[in-house]
């Protein structure tokens, strides 16, 4: 039996010797490479936090001490050390989540995988413990990237406002921007800075010197300045200490003893402390270390020896189609610029950045700033293209509404990973954008169904310079192009039958699903018209008249049914006085579990068979009493 297999809960770590801990780190890295290669997932970040996670669970007593993971993709080692070692279905249906999950373990707190939030959580938990008189520590583990987010600094400002409230912030810095401070002197200084005695001496000296006539105050300020300069020569703590946080580090994040010692010193200081750990993303796995782009941040199913993908190729990703087209547009229009929030390459802007390095900005994990900055760029005469994951647009809604839309700025938002994303789970599904954006005045939303439409509609979007536009597409490979048979107004007709009873409104990539449903309905004697509205906000004025020639309208969308496209279609028909029932197919008002995208869609009934069956049931009810009732 391996040492890892003997670890069922964090306290099992506390009796291990130094030699045993060294073996355990090797076992964990071997496990991660082998297991994550079979399922896909976040490999590089977890290889980098093996020693850090072990030290955390040796220094603290989870779950009495609350350990919070900001950007939970670095929590795989935490899962292994808290009794979850079956990674066979990681991120798959019925298996472990790729992020912390409360239903899995009492050791998990934050399920949200959006960055820069853990410090706000920690501040709230620490304050609640103070109010309730509870003991125990609150520890927030944040990456250096998370500190580029404004929420992190809002939280730090409030955390520092209570110098006697214990809260520990562990910065997992894998950017390799600082050299570690090594040696006994640095360790001694860190120990002094986090002891009660040191603080009492400082407070006593401050009072004595300031009460000394004439020379006291100037002498105190001189000595205090010398102390600050001396400390800053050894460690870059000045910024954090100026906020009121005690600083420990930098610490070698791959030295369990050094990290554990730093954490225990931080525990002894009864106030907010920041422990700065330097780690190496991809540690212990040479292919990750030689991948300078992202050090195997996320991998698919692959051979761990050769890193060759094992999944059968399934076509081109939507992201790559966008990446190619935005470069072409950039070559034609010098005013087109691009922005993103820490996702330059995942969002397909790498080629644009290489071709136009002075026309692209990665602002870090700061979606709000990206959107308001885009408003400024647009006001100055440029056309910004802001590329985000659809789920992260939620964070910048106010800026889109009040900075961009209110000022009628010509900004194009490209939303990747829209709709059901699958394995990344509840917080990464991009199913809320079409509902949120319906309320934004003058906004236009394009939902392309295939690569040809993405290219065309992206160009249509950037041609609008007096209002914001949105283009959204999913996390999957692009299927074959679906040509239109005809066009009604600005809508594409994809399927038409004689004496059609049903109008199927196919939103974006669910067009093939709707065509499949139409074939099944036709086989049962029900003719359908299938249209792709192309632009779902504003809806085409020709839609109500087309709907009036059918007995039932069904809207199929990969987004929330609440205030989504289906609701907009129903509203448009009411406004036009068209009394035709509308049946909505989409995402119910719930958070979705992690699974493959196709599995999630099937569970939600977004398949040709389910849609055709429910439409047939609705028509049968209408034939009996003249109305359409919702059938579950």
Would you please indicate which residues are annotated as catalytic (active-site) residues?
281, 367, 395
* Helical H segments across 276-400, by residue range: 286-289, 318-332, 350-355, 367-379, 390-393, 397-399
Give CA–CA dist 347/416, Å, rounded: 7
For 333: left if phi > 0, alpha if psi spans -120 to 50, otherwise beta; the answer is: beta
In this structure, what DSSP letter does residue 418 have? -
Do the Cβ atoms of 285 and 29 come closer than 8 Å? yes
Neighbours of 622 (CB within 10 A): 16
Distance CA 257, CA 489 (A): 70
CB 98 within 8 A of CB 24: no
Contacts of 532 (CB under 8 A, 6+ apart): 449, 453, 482, 484, 491, 492, 494, 506, 507, 508, 511
Beta bridge partners of 535: 446
CB distance 215 to 229 below 8 Å: no
Q: Under a CB-based contact definition with an 8 Å cutoff, are residues 552 and 502 in contact? A: yes
d(CA 24, CA 5): 10
CB atoms inside a 10 Å sphere around CB 32: 24
Farthest CA pair distance, the chain: 101
Assign residue 525 a region: left if phi > 0, alpha if psi is -120 to 50, beta otherwise? Answer: left
Question: Are the CB atoms for 25 and 260 separated by under 8 Å?
Answer: no
Which is nearest to 359 in space by CA: 327, 389, 388? Answer: 327
């Amino acid at each position: 039996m391996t040492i890892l297999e003997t670890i069922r809960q964090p306290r099992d770590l506390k009796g291990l010797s130094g030699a045993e801990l060294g073996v355990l780190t090797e076992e964990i890295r071997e496990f991660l490479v082998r297991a994550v290669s079979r399922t896909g997932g976040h490999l590089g970040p977890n290889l980098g936090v093996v020693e850090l996670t072990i030290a955390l669970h040796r220094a603290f007593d989870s779950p009495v001490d609350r350990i919070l993971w900001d950007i939970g993709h670095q929590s795989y080692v935490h899962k292994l050390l808290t009794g979850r070692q079956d990674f066979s279905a990681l991120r798959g249906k019925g298996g472990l989540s790729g992020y912390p999950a409360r239903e899995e373990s009492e050791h998990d707190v934050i399920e949200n995988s959006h960055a820069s939030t853990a410090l706000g959580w920690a501040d709230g938990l620490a304050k609640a413990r103070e109010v309730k008189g509870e003991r125990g520590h609150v520890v927030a583990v944040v990456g250096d990237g998370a500190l580029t987010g404004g929420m992190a600094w809002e939280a730090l400002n409030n955390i520092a406002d209570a110098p006697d409230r214990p809260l520990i912030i562990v910065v997992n810095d894998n950017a390799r921007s600082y050299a570690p401070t090594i040696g006994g002197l640095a360790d001694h200084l860190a120990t002094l800075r986090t002891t009660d005695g040191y603080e009492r001496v400082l407070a006593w000296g401050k009072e004595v010197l300031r009460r000394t006539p004439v020379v006291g105050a100037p002498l105190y300020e001189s000595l205090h300045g010398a102390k600050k300069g001396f400390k800053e020569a050894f460690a870059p703590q000045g910024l954090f200490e100026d906020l009121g946080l005690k600083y420990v580090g930098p610490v070698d994040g791959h030295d369990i003893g050094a990290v554990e010692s730093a954490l225990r010193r931080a525990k002894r200081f009864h106030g907010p402390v920041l422990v700065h750990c330097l780690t190496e993303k991809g540690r212990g796995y040479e292919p990750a270390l030689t991948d300078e782009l992202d050090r195997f941040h996320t991998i698919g199913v692959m051979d761990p020896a050769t890193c060759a993908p094992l999944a059968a190729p399934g076509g081109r990703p939507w992201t790559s189609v966008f990446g190619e087209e935005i470069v072409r547009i950039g070559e034609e229009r010098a005013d087109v610029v691009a922005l993103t929030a820490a996702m330059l390459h995942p969002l397909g802007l790498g080629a644009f950045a290489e071709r136009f390095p002075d026309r692209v900005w990665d602002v870090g994990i700061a979606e709000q700033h990206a959107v308001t900055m885009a408003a400024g760029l647009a006001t100055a005469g440029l056309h910004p293209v802001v590329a985000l994951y659809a789920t992260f647009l939620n964070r910048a809604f106010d800026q889109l509404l009040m900075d961009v839309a209110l000022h009628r700025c010509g900004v194009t938002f490209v939303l990747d990973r829209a709709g059901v994303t699958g394995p990344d789970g509840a917080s990464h599904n991009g199913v809320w954008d079409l509902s949120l954006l319906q309320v934004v005045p003058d906004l236009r939303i394009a939902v392309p169904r295939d690569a040809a439409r993405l290219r065309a509609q992206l160009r249509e979007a950037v041609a609008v310079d007096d209002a914001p536009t949105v283009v959204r597409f999913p996390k999957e490979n692009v299927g074959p192009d679906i040509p239109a048979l005809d066009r009604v107004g600005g809508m594409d007709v994809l399927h038409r039958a004689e004496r059609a009873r049903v109008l199927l409104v196919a939103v974006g990539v669910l067009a093939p699903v709707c065509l499949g449903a139409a074939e099944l309905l036709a086989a049962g004697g029900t003719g359908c018209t299938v249209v792709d509205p192309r632009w779902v906000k504003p809806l085409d004025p020709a839609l109500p008249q087309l709907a009036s020639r059918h007995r039932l309208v069904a809207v199929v969308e990969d987004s929330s049914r609440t205030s989504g496209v289906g609701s907009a279609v129903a509203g448009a028909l009411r406004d036009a006085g068209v009394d035709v029932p509308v049946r909505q197919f989409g995402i119910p008002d719930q958070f979705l579990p992690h699974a493959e995208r196709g599995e999630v869609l099937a569970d939600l009934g977004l398949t040709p068979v389910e849609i055709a069956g429910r439409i047939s049931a609705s028509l049968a009810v209408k034939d009996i009493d003249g109305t359409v009732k919702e059938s579950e």
